[in-house]
């Protein structure tokens, strides 16, 4: 009997969109409808199983080979870039990284800026590319209040609807890059298990895998 393909899946919105995508690909996903507090689920035909985990842990499971495949946002992959292959852009969970601040913020000010963010790698790369040396202040969440309180000059954060920025009196000064949900794979698993390639190809035909330009 062949081993099921193990998929580390980001809990929450990505999990729900992935279940819909797999349904479109022809898989019977009814086993995911009454989850309770369980965190591991096997498909009825035992061809694959899901591990429901926190976003940054998806790359850890895939890197260690505990999961063959991972489904996670590009924001997480930028912060945790090694130990897996990025295979597919699933084209959901669309949002962007932006620089935002209060209206009086001057992006062209030559003083050394303080940038608050949950994404220090993204922020550092962005300002490095512009040739700007900034001080990064690491914040775990609710980063939008930091410019208002004077803890930071600006923030680098995810913007989806923009509602959180507006509600906290901030505006976007610069867009950094588009973010979407990606499918990643463990390199050894891809090489050694042909079922994984067929599985990914089946998903790819549904997604269409078109890259949108970031506007
Ligand atoms: C994310 C992000 C923004 C918000 C953007 O935060 O960090 O705060 O969503 O969404 P919007 O543009 O649709 O308003 P999250 O909900 O993950 O909470 P957090 O601040 O605790 O990280």
* Region of 209 on the Ramachandran plot (φ > 0 left; ψ -120 to 50 alpha; else beta): left
Residue pair 214/177 in contact (Cβ under 8 Å)? The answer is yes
Packed helices 13-24 and 194-207: angle between N→C axes, nearest 10 degrees: 90
| Mean pLDDT of all residues in 25-31 | 92
- Output the CA 4–ligand 1 centroid distance in Å: 34
159: which strand partners?
Answer: 96
Q: Record the tokens describing residue 2, joined without a space.
A: 């062949």
Q: What is the pTM of this model?
A: 0.90
pLDDT of res. 3: 87
Tens digit of each residue's pLDDT (9 = 90 or more) over 34-81: 888 899 999 999 999 999 999 999 999 999 999 999 999 999 999 999
Ligand 1 pocket: which residues have CB below 6 Å?
141-142, 144, 157-164
pLDDT of res. 36: 86
pLDDT of res. 214: 39
pLDDT of 171 above 50: yes
pLDDT of res. 213: 39
Percentage of residues of the chain with pLDDT beyond 90:
91
71 or 212: which carries more pLDDT confidence? 71
> In which band, very low, low, confident or very high, does the pLDDT at 5 lie, cut at 50, 70 and 90?
very high
Residue pair 175/97 in contact (Cβ under 8 Å)? The answer is yes
- Output the CA 141–ligand 1 centroid distance in Å: 8
Tens digit of each residue's pLDDT (9 = 90 or more) over 95-130: 999 999 999 999 999 899 999 999 999 999 999 999
- Output the CA 143–ligand 1 centroid distance in Å: 9
């Amino acid at each position: 009997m062949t081993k099921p393909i193990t998929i580390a899946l980001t809990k929450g919105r990505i999990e729900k969109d992935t279940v819909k995508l797999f349904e479109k690909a022809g898989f019977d996903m009814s086993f995911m409808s009454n989850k309770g507090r369980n965190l591991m689920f096997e498909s009825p035909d035992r061809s694959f199983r899901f591990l429901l985990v926190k976003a940054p842990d998806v790359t850890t499971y895939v890197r260690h080979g505990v999961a063959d495949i991972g489904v996670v946002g590009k924001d997480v992959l930028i912060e945790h870039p090694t130990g897996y292959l990025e295979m597919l852009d699933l084209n959901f969970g669309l949002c962007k990284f932006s620089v935002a601040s209060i209206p009086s913020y001057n992006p062209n000010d030559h003083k050394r800026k303080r940038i608050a963010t949950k994404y220090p790698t993204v922020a550092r790369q962005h300002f490095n590319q512009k040739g700007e040396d900034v001080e990064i202040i690491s914040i775990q969440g609710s980063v939008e209040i930091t410019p208002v309180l004077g803890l930071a000059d600006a923030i680098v954060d995810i913007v989806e609807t923009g509602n959180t920025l507006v509600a906290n009196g901030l505006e976007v000064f610069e867009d950094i890059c588009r973010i979407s949900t990606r499918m990643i794979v463990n390199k050894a698993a891809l090489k050694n298990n042909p079922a994984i390639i067929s599985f990914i190809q089946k998903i790819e035909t549904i997604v269409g895998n078109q890259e949108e330009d970031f506007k």
